[in-house]
Structure 1
């Protein structure tokens, strides 16, 4: 028994076999001495026993299925009783052991301790609020697979995880969810979830952006330890670790994570990315809707494409006219460098991969011949350049995103523009950080106001005087508490703008942007009047899911969300095509050619009359067919990848 269940099972089986053999011999000898009906008819003189029938009777008696027959003699009955008694002990013990082992296995399944037998699965280590959005994205990504699997390993109780996911998730389509209980840094637990057979790994960070620095540092350390455990577990079978995607808060931990498994670990700084997105969306109305179509697997995605027959000497400027329903955005070189919106004169090399935007990889079709010839418009009457306007933006709250947001505003804004930071308590560290940004970018005015945000007395801020107001998520015990405070500030700002309009008759064009932690609060935000909002958990979750399936996509996000290089803008068509031609109708191919004349890359259009219609994707149409005629108005906008907003 001390050697475990398998040894007990073998001992019971062996005991049963020995008992069966022993009782079979005893009964055989008994019937030879005291014949009991098993004498063969043709061997009556020799007294030979029908051993087959006899052994069958011994077996069923040993199993307790039958006692001695009524016509049996005393010797047969005595041996039968002894056989049944021995069988009662051994066979019952064997049945009880099997039953107990079965119940133990069921309990292990309930507790999430059993081995995962799946392969080529996406493995998620950890359990937090971000998990639901990640799984929803993976479900969409796995629609083309017959039986996709997502495995979750967490220290949470399995039944609680299953109940939570069952309540939060809808139709999983072709995806199955497997949960297991265990430590994400334990090598044995990693083998239980088949780490060596996983397609990719996502490691969730326990700490939120609003948590204290000490706790975030501890959570980052736990992620690093999990990476080490993955490397150790896969090295035991002489195998490279699968692609690993992690979220880390500190730069030092991100560098360390990438050094642990070079080329296998992709790190994500959620605060940095969200701050950059918030700055871009606050300056360009409708841009967040474009990002929601680009991030994740809903809508259009980024792909790396290379035709089998090569690029046939095409330049990047010629490339867009050889695709249908697909827009090339840049070039990924063989040495790993990536460039979005390269010069139109760049000659495609045979080893180059094109970064393309498509609804699905199956929709990518490269034609050896150009599919259309765009029109060339007379641009003499067009506005040559779009001047940088004076802008005023306000950031409410101080978090790890604030400094990045201030720096990004200072890079984008024109001379004399203003950024106002509103904080509940102005500390020396905050003042020093703002002074540093102001010194580095003197052309932009940076003001700081100390206001009691809890008292909800925001009249002194005059929100109607700003182009945008971004409310950063504060600190709290949970996402519900944090979002409640954000929504309260949002409603107060909205009411101040309404009061101003009622008093002066002047319309307010201030855009309200709120950082929402819980994606379930989206509808509340929309009803509160936010036209352009950021869902931090949802955005980061979409990026994590997408990068887990294609790690190279992270390079695209880092380039696109940065002030350096090309970014996304929504610009009026008056910069590209004469108004009379717009009304008559143009093809998207014409738009692409017009954008190229300004060293820009057109990726779609935004229809003004549909901006408030979610059923029409808020008017956003990405990568339309080049040859389809689009009837536009001067109010519609062209979605472009450009160096700046001019």
Structure 2
């Protein structure tokens, strides 16, 4: 009998503070009833309750406050009963108070541990933690400006208070967006349910900064996919994988509503394109940043039945770049006679949704006769690649796809690279092993013979250590170019965005913070999945691409001209004008002379060194 009683007591204790509080509350009621009966039986006149109800209340007060014993007077039996009631109250309260305190402490500890479920709808979930989480959160905060009750939930294997402190210090003011942090394993399906992904608008999976980040990304995608409802409904999943070999597996794990970006391929294309055209990195940064001009799809019924050419000058504060058909197909820079159908959406570049509006009148423009296109073949180029990381093979592949015949690529790195002398497509590749941070090594390379230089950030070192070596290489290259009075395009890959400001001191070369650009792209796709196909097309070796061409190729220089006239002149060449780069403002951060989507009515006087940002070629993007 005693053993069964102990067993039941153990079971009650194992249920935690709520069960103990319930047992003690029952004991308190029992003692109150017992004390009430004792008061009716032994209390003298003046103390004895009038009825059973008041006797229970009086007994309950004696349980809560045993000090009532001090005021008791009467016979010895009553005093003995009063002492019993006082001791029972002391024992009960001394047990109840620690139990309540322990329960509160456990609840506070649970709150601090970040294990309480997130009760939100339409929020954005971030799974994982890396140095780029601050960039993603900052972009989502910017995207949510103007939205009420916006929320971003972060789940990572990190202390909740540490995550909140880092985000507060790095991101700063989050405006009207609530940042909710929870502690858990992003690859554990049970932990993932804490942030309620099934009710989220989108889920962004960040790769861990370890040797095999793709495996963790795939497991997180599987964990979220397990929360989807019937028919594959649920949030949009966005992630990036380092190895392109894992791309198909990641997309299969995420399901139909999943967008996966190949990190190495994307950054390699970004590096190569920026190296071949100075200023292109600023254009891409503006397109990928929520604080700049973004790509939107807008429905304008007034344009139904009209030609695409007519839509180009129908907006004053937005730049038309394509059409989105009802079935999800996107026509980038289609033929000018393409008809706009009623269900179609216009793909525009605009500062915000509020700035997308049809103009009351077509801005005045001066027709300019098109300049005859040059047909002479492009000469071979010499490219120097300094440093090595996991993106080197993709960089070489992109150079082979973009450089004209007769080009040469020399790779110099201080680590052995599994690249033998290779020739293909008219491109010659050589490799040399040397310490690129040493000035005498750079002097021996004779940098004056190169047209383009790419500096890769070492991938096998700490971010600060890697950037320190990259900065040393960058400064030496600048000095050598200045001493030799030789100009070449220079694109430098950085690991930490905080070192970008140091690298830009003195001269605004093209700088690529690879993690930042990937984070910006993932953030954009999480808000609009159609942008994934557009970005793939813009960064592809062929098709619809962004380029910077001299303004004199399209319009007269040293003459005032509206940007509407520029749009019309560029269109006569089959291109789309989306902005310009003013040479005299190149040293002015943060745009460094690049301005996208200028007002059509603004007047500009271009010089020979100024450039127009154009969209060349055309393409058809099929929905995923």
Same fold (TM over 0.5): yes
Are residues 423 and 158 of structure 1, via their aligned partners in 2, closer, same or farther at CA, if it must alter by over 3 Å? same
Corresponding residue of 1:362: 354
The alignment partner of 1:101 has SS state of: helix
What runs of 5+ residues in structure 2 fail to find an aligned partner? 1-12, 619-624
Alignment of 1:135-534 (within 5 A): 135-207=137-209, 215-216=211-212, 219-235=213-229, 240-307=233-300, 309=301, 311-366=303-358, 371-372=362-363, 374-379=365-370, 382-385=371-374, 387=376, 388-424=378-414, 427=417, 429-431=418-420, 435=422, 438-439=423-424, 441-442=425-426, 444-453=427-436, 457-499=441-483, 501=484, 507-527=485-505, 529=507, 531-534=509-512
Corresponding residue of 1:622: 596
Conserved? CA contact 2:437–2:470, under 8 Å: no
- Given candidates 90, 114, 127, the residue that maps to 1:112 is 114
Q: Deviations 1:472-491 (Å, cap 9, x if unpaired)?
A: 11133321111112112222
Corresponding residue of 2:576: 601
Conserved? CA contact 1:288–1:532, under 8 Å: yes
Conserved? CA contact 2:130–2:209, under 8 Å: no
CA displacement at 1:561 relative to structure 2: 0.8
Q: Which moved more, 1:347-356 or 1:465-474?
A: 347-356
Conserved? CA contact 2:31–2:59, under 8 Å: no
CA displacement at 1:262 relative to structure 2: 3.0
Corresponding residue of 1:42: none
CA displacement at 1:158 relative to structure 2: 2.4
Q: Deviations 1:416-475 (Å, cap 9, x if unpaired)?
A: 333222233555x411xx62xx32x12x34343333436552222111222221111113
Q: Which moved more, 1:528-537 or 1:177-186?
A: 528-537
1:544 maps to 2:536 = no
1:35 maps to 2:58 = no
Tell me, in whole angstroms, the C-alpha distance in 2 between the residues paired with 1:52 and 1:532: 85
1:22 maps to 2:34 = yes
Conserved? CA contact 1:196–1:233, under 8 Å: yes
- Given candidates 513, 517, 522, the residue that maps to 1:535 is 513
Tell me, in whole angstroms, the C-alpha distance in 2 between the residues paired with 1:551 and 1:350: 22
Tell me, in whole angstroms, the C-alpha distance in 1 between the residues paired with 2:89 and 2:232: 51
User: Any runs of at least 4 consecutive aligned residues in structure 1 with deviations exceeding 4 A, and if so which?
Assistant: 50-53
- Given candidates 136, 145, 151, the residue that maps to 1:134 is 136
Are residues 62 and 634 of structure 1, via their aligned partners in 2, closer, same or farther at CA, if it must alter by over 3 Å? same
Corresponding residue of 1:9: 21
Are residues 393 and 239 of structure 1, via their aligned partners in 2, closer, same or farther at CA, if it must alter by over 3 Å? closer
CA displacement at 1:558 relative to structure 2: 0.7
Are residues 72 and 285 of structure 1, via their aligned partners in 2, closer, same or farther at CA, if it must alter by over 3 Å? same
Corresponding residue of 1:572: 550
Conserved? CA contact 2:69–2:86, under 8 Å: no
Are residues 146 and 58 of structure 1, via their aligned partners in 2, closer, same or farther at CA, if it must alter by over 3 Å? same
Please report the RMSD computed on the Cα atoms of aligned residues, expressed in angstroms.
Answer: 2.5
> Normalised by the size of structure 2, how large is the TM-score?
0.90
Are residues 528 and 269 of structure 1, via their aligned partners in 2, closer, same or farther at CA, if it must alter by over 3 Å? farther
Conserved? CA contact 1:38–1:53, under 8 Å: no
> Normalised by the size of structure 1, how large is the TM-score?
0.87
The alignment partner of 1:224 has SS state of: helix
